[in-house]
Amino acid sequence: MSKAVILLSGGLDSTTILAIAKSQYFDCYALSFDYGQKQKSELNSAKHAVKLFNAIEHKTINISLNDIGGSALTDNAIKIPKFKISNDIPVTYVPARNTIFLSYAIAWAEVLGCQDIFIGVNALDYSGYPDCRKEYIKSFEIMANLATKQSVEGKKLTIHTPLIDLHKAQIIQKGLSLGVDYSLTTTCYQANNNGDACGICDACEYRKQGFKEAETPDPTKYQK
């Protein structure tokens, strides 16, 4: 089987892409990040996903995006807001996060000798993050194929975004069909140490709406 690097946060979307990659008969190498995020319970969820779908290897890379700050997810001076509809890019955007994560992914892919990377970006039910757009992924893939030894030698690298055109309900339905246990995933921006969700942030709202529209029970544990 071919190898694939899977960017795995432990959330709903990334766990679904791990299931999708596994269903496509890839040998999955999961890559997570302890990047200074305020809540780290998602990393425990990533471990559950790795076991559920029998990933070959799971790396968790430690980087300090909290040293840079500028995001409610990493900067203690910025509070995580309640959900609200807005055309502005929210304060939960982490500057250049997907660029940084994908850079690590292409490096590990080169070491592994694999040409496939999966990332759970979504251009529909998301908070307006610029690094979740098709144009961004296409441009990064072009750059990656200029920047790596294996691509210069004719082994083209592909960045897979199987969720990019799906609504959250469709993602959930797809995951359920592939055996994802969403009770083990953590999506909340301010989950507690047990992974219990706040129920009021953007991520929680999109998740709740997704389960409602998918007409399936929401297994998320919410803080009281």
Query: Would 219 be classed as within a structural domain?
Result: no
Q: What number of residues does the chain have?
A: 224
Q: How far is CA 182 from CA 46, 81, 109, 222, in A?
A: 12, 24, 27, 13
Q: How many domains does the chain have?
A: 1
- More confident position, 157 or 88: 157
Please indicate, yes or no, if residue 220 is contained in any of the structural domains.
no
Whether residue 125 has pLDDT greater than 70: no
Does residue 218 fall inside a structural domain? no
Give yes or no for residue 123 having a pLDDT over 90.
no
pLDDT beyond 70 at 45: yes
Q: What percent of the chain has pLDDT over 70?
A: 99
Cβ distance 120 to 13 under 8 Å?
A: yes
Which residues, 6+ apart, have CB-to-CB distance to 185 below 8 Å?
10, 11, 12, 15, 45, 48, 49
Flag whether pLDDT at 113 surpasses 90.
Answer: yes
The answer to whether the CB of 117 falls within 8 A of the CB of 5 is: yes
What is the share, in percent, of the chain residues with pLDDT greater than 90?
90
Q: Looking at the predicted structure, is the pLDDT value of residue 57 above 80?
A: yes
Predicted confidence (pLDDT) at residue 84 exceeds the cutoff of 90: no
Q: Find the radius of gyration of the CA atoms of the chain.
A: 17
Does the pTM surpass 0.75? The reply is yes
pLDDT at 127: 63
Structure confidence by residue, pLDDT tens digits, 137-191: 999 999 999 999 999 999 999 999 999 999 999 999 999 999 999 999 999 999 9
85 has pLDDT over 90: no
Structural domain including 131 reads: 3-213
Tell whether 178 is covered by a domain. yes
pLDDT band at 16 (very low <50, low <70, confident <90, very high): very high
The answer to whether residue 223 is domain-embedded is: no
Distance CA 46, CA 52 (A): 10
Q: Give the residues across from 4 on adjacent strands.
A: 28
Q: What is the predicted pLDDT for the residue at 146?
A: 97
Residue 13 lies in a domain: yes
CATH number of the domain at 11, please.
3.40.50.620
What does the mean pLDDT of the chain come to?
A: 94
**For the residues 114-129, what does the mean pLDDT come to?**
86
Mean pLDDT of 38-67: 96
As a whole number, mean pLDDT of residues 2-14 equals 97
Assigned domain for 37 exists: yes
Structural domain includes residue 221: no
Output the CA–CA distances (angstroms, integers) from residue 188 to 101, 123, 140, 185, in the order listed.
19, 19, 27, 9
